[in-house]
Structure 1
Amino acid sequence: MIVFNIQVSEELREKIKQTVKDQLHDLEDGEPFAILGGERLIVGYRQEGGKVVIEQIVEKVIGLEDMAGEQQKPTE
């Protein structure tokens, strides 16, 4: 069972359900997870008994390599 605590389109809901179903065996009860879906990060956790809660979608994801590039600008 997947519980959505946020509003998502039916298309995205189905993609999330399929991804979670494929990976559910790798998740422990209480374990948080994130699904990278293109430019979005979908955040949730698994509850006891295999119930999955989707809590949040982060629309803007900044990669660590992007941050490292900004911090290590070459000096002349």
Structure 2
Amino acid sequence: MKSLKNYGPLIILVLLIDTIAEFIGMQVFKIGKIEVSILPLVFAVILAIIIYLLPLKPIKQLYNDKRVKFAGKYMSLIM
């Protein structure tokens, strides 16, 4: 249970990113005769990168190597 407390803020951030990406949903657009689909997972990755690049100290503390590896394993489960 102790480890879950350590990952709590990161899990909440991942759930928030995932929820936003799911609300955006799948986007389809045409390039000539070709249809291109962008899935919510792509939006989730883009949002995570944008949040990481924000110069906010509390968010930077969430992104250490151990937590990022943990989130990477379970992001597909959450989606």
Q: TM-score, normalised by structure 2?
A: 0.31
Q: TM-score, normalised by structure 1?
A: 0.32
* Greater share of residues in strand: 1
The structure having more radius of gyration, on CA atoms, is 1
* Greater share of residues in helix: 2
